[in-house]
Chains A and B, each alone.
Chain A
Amino acid sequence: MSFFEGLKFRKVSSPIHDLDPRIKFVFVLVIFVLAVVFAEILPLLFLFILQLPFVLLARVGKQWLRSLKGAIFFAVLIFLMNFIVSFIYAGYVVTAQMIENAFTMTFRFIVLVSSFSIFFLTTSPDVLGLALEQSHIPYEFCFAFTTAVRFVPVLADEAQTIMDAQKARGLELEKGNFLKRVRNYIPILVPLIVNAIRRSLELAEAMESRAWGATKKRTNLYVLKPKREDYLLAFITVAILALAIYVKIFVPIPKITQILRISA
C-alpha cells in the first residue's frame, strides 16, 4: 500500500515545485537524452552534479534518496551484467577499463532515475494535468488522469477494508496451492469491482450535476504562464544542450583509466 500512499500529494511550494512543468519536462528530457548519448563517466558525472541544486532547492532530498535506494537492485544488476559479459568477451581477464565501462553504464542508469524522480517529486499531478490540458491534449483524457490519481488511493483503502471483511469471515489468502491462492482473491476482487462500478456511477451523476460537457470551450481556473525562473531554466537547458553538442563534436573525452594512465 505504500506505493499508493505515494500518490497522496500535498501541495508544496518551492522554487522548483513552482516551475512551469512543461519547461521542467523539457529539461529532464534533455538530461535523459544526453545521458544516453554520452558513454563516458565525466559528462555523466556532470549531468548528475547538475541535478543536485534542484534537489536541494526543492527540499526533496529524503524522497530523492529513497528513489535512488529503490534503484540499487537494478544498478547492481546492470553492473554485474556488463562486467560479466565483457569479462567473458575479453577471454576471462579483468581490466580497469572493463570496470570503468560497467560502472559508466550503471551510473547512466542512476542519472536517468534521478532526473525522472526529481520531475515527479516536484510536479503535483494537479499541475501535470493542467500542463497536459494546455498542451492541447483532449480534456477528457486530462480529467481521467487527475481522477485516477485522486481515486487510486481511495480504491487501495477500499481493497484493504474488503480484505479485512473477508478475513473476518475466515478467508485465508495464503492457504492452498498456487491455483487455490489465486481463487482466494475472488471474494476480494468481486466486491472491489462492484464497488468501483457503483462509485463511477455516483461520480458520473455528480459530474452531470455540475454541468459536465456544457461547452466544448472549457475554461480552466489556472493558466500556466512562464515566469522569469522558467525562462532561466529554459536558457540553462539550451545552454547545456549547446555545450553538449559542442563537446560531442569537438572535444575528445578522456576515460578515467586514461587520466590515471592505467594501461590495460
Chain B
Amino acid sequence: MRFMVARESVEVIKTEKLTFTYAGRNEPSIRDVGLSIEKGEFVILTGPSGCGKTTLCRCFNGLIPHFYQGKLEGEVIVAGLKVNEHPTYELACHVGLVFQNPENQLFALSVEKDVAFGLENLGLPREEIRKRVDWAMKVAGVYELKDRAPYELSGGQQQRVAIASVLAMRPEVIVLDEPTSFLDPLGAKRIFEDIYKLNQKLGITVILVEHRLDLAAKYATRVIVMNDGRVLLDGDPREVLSLEKTRLLGVGIPKATRLYQLLKNDGIPLKSGKVPLTPEEAAEAIKEAFKSD
C-alpha cells in the first residue's frame, strides 16, 4: 500500500533483503527487510524495544556499515546511492539523522555554531554556510536562540536545534529516532507539529521512530511495524493501527483508536470508513451511533 501526496512518485529509500548482524553477535538485528519509501512520505516506524528500528535507521545514512562493523547482506539504496559504496559524510547530505538524546548531538557552545557544524565539515564557502544556517534556524524556530549555549535550552529547544543542524545540510530525508523520549507531552506535541510542517512545506520525507503514537499517528501517511528484526506490517496508519495483531505485539495504539476498536467489537454501529486516530475523529464516529437510533 503506497501512499502518495499528489507528487510524482520518486523512490528515495529502497532496501532489499537487508540483513545486518553486529560484529560479535550471533543473531542478526534486522532480517530480510525490503522497503521502498517514496519522496514526501511521512513514515512512522514502530515496534517493541529491541525490534531493530534503530539498526534500520543506521542503515539509511551509512552509519551501518561504515561506523558500526558487522555483516551486511542485501542492499540499501538512498537517493540513488548504494550505501555501502558511499561514505557517511556523503550520505549525510541526503539523509539527516536526529537522535533520541539531544544532549549528545550538540557539540558547540552556541546554537548557531552547532547548526553550522555539518556545513563547516563539508567545507562550503562561508557565505553559503551563513545563508543556510540562518534559513535552517528560522525554519526550525530557533533563530531567536542563536547565541545561546546548549545548557541554556530546554529539552524541546535542544531537539529543535538538532533538527535545524540536520536541516542545514538540505537532506531529502530526515530520520528521527525517538526524538521525544526525553520531552514532556507538550514539548513532544510541538516537535511533531514542526516535523509535520517540514514534511508538508518543504516536501522532506520523514521517517519517525516512535512509541508515542497517540500524539504522532495523525501525521503519518504510513506506519511500519517491526518485530524481532523483521517488518511485520506496513501500510495506512488507520488500517495498521486497528489490526488486532498490532495491539497484541505491544504497540501502544492511540486510545481513541482503541476505544473505536472496542465499540466495534461490541457491535456498535459506528461511522464506518475511517478508523479514528485522534479524539476528534473518535468522537465523530461515536456520535454516529447515537444518531442511528
Q: Specify whether A and B are partners.
A: yes
List A residues at the B interface (Cβ < 8 Å): 8-11, 124-126, 129, 143, 146-147, 149-150, 153-154, 199, 202-215, 217-223
CB-CB nearest in chain A for B115: A221
Q: Does B242 contact A (CB under 8 A)?
A: no
A9 to B121, CA, bound (A): 24
Q: Residue on B with the closest CB to A147?
A: B107
Across-interface contacts of B123 in A (CB, < 8 A):
214-215, 217-219
Question: Can you name 24 A-B pairs with beta carbons within 8 Å?
Answer: A8-B149, A8-B151, A9-B149, A125-B109, A126-B110, A146-B109, A153-B151, A154-B103, A204-B67, A205-B67, A206-B107, A208-B63, A208-B67, A209-B63, A210-B118, A210-B166, A211-B121, A211-B122, A213-B121, A214-B121, A218-B121, A219-B122, A221-B112, A221-B129
In the complex, are the beta carbons of B89 and A214 less than 8 A apart? yes
Complex contact A150–B107 (CB within 8 A): yes
- Beyond A10-B149, A149-B109, A215-B123, 16 additional contacts (C-beta under 8 Å) are A10-B152, A11-B110, A11-B149, A202-B101, A203-B105, A204-B67, A205-B58, A205-B67, A206-B97, A208-B92, A209-B97, A214-B90, A219-B123, A219-B125, A221-B126, A221-B129
**Of A143, A204, A208, A220, which is in contact with the most chain B CB atoms at under 10 Å from its CB?**
A208
B169 at the interface (CB under 8 A from A): yes
**Contacts of A8 on B, CB cut-off 8 Å?**
149, 151
Minimal beta-carbon separation of B109 from chain A (angstroms): 4
B268 interface contact, C-beta 8 A: no
With both beta carbons as reference points, the residue of chain B lying nearest to A200 in the complex is identified as B104
| Chain A residue with Cβ nearest B162 | A206
Interface-central residue, B66, B96, B122, B125, by most chain A CB under 10 Å: B122
Using known A-B contacts A11-B110, A203-B105, determine if residue A211 contacts B149 with beta carbons closer than 8 Å.
no
- The distance in angstroms between the C-alpha atoms of A221 and B150, with both chains bound, is 18
Per the bound structure, the CA–CA distance linking A83 and B129 in Å amounts to: 60
Determine the distance from Cα of A207 to Cα of B110 in the docked complex, in whole angstroms. 16
Residue of B nearest to A125 (CB): B109
Q: Which residue of chain B has its CB nearest to the CB of A204?
A: B67
Docked-complex contact B121 and A215, CB < 8 angstroms: yes
Residues of B within 8 A of A212 (CB): 89, 121
User: In this assembly, does B88 line the interface, its C-beta being within 8 Å of a C-beta of chain A?
Assistant: yes
* Residue in A closest to B67 when the chains form the complex, CB atoms: A208
Classify the interface of chain B: helix, strand, loop or mixed. helix
Do A207 and B116 have beta carbons less than 8 Å apart? no
Query: How far apart sit A214 and B119, CA to CA, in the bound complex (Å)?
Result: 10
**Interface residue count on the B side (C-beta < 8 Å):** 48
A206 to B148, CA, bound (A): 20
Residues of B within 8 A of A203 (CB): 104-105, 107
Residues of A with C-beta under 8 A to B103: 154
| Interface contact A146-B108, CB-CB below 8 Å | yes
Judging by beta carbons under 8 Å apart, are B104 and A220 in contact? no
Kindly list chain B residues whose C-beta atoms are within 8 Å of the C-beta of A213. 89, 121
Q: Are B126 and A223 touching (Cβ within 8 A)?
A: yes
Report if B202 contacts A (CB, 8 A).
no
A214 in contact with B109 (CB, 8 Å): no
Contact assessment for B101 and A150 in the assembled complex, using a CB-CB cutoff below 8 Å: no
List, in ascending order, chain A residues with CB within 8 A of B107's CB: 143, 146-147, 150, 203, 206-207
> CB-CB contacts of B74-99 with A at 8 A, as 1s and 0s?
00000000000001111011001101
A220 to chain B, nearest CB (A): 6
Centre residue among A125, A207, A213, A223 by max chain B CB count within 10 A = A207
| Known contacts A126-B113, A154-B103, A208-B66, A218 near B120 by CB under 8 Å | yes
B-side contacts of A126, CB under 8 Å: 108-110, 113
In the bound complex, how far is the Cα of B106 from the Cα of A199, in angstroms? 12
B165 CB-CB contact with A under 8 Å: yes
Chain B residues with Cβ below 8 Å from A215 are 121-123
Find chain B residues with CB under 8 A from A154 CB. 103, 151
Once the chains bind, are B126 and A219 in contact (CB under 8 Å)?
yes
Compute how far the CA of A2 lies from the CA of B256 in the bound complex, rounded to whole angstroms. 49
Residues of B close to A143: CB separation below 8 A: 107
* Residue of B67, B99, B104 ringed by the most chain A CB atoms within 10 A: B104
A219 close to B104 (CB less than 8 A): no
Indicate if the CB atoms of A209 and B96 lie closer than 8 Å.
yes
Interface residues of B in 129-162 (CB under 8 A from A): 129-130, 133, 147-152
Which 7 A-B residue pairs are closest in the complex by CB-CB distance? Answer: A210-B118, A214-B89, A206-B105, A211-B89, A215-B123, A202-B104, A221-B116
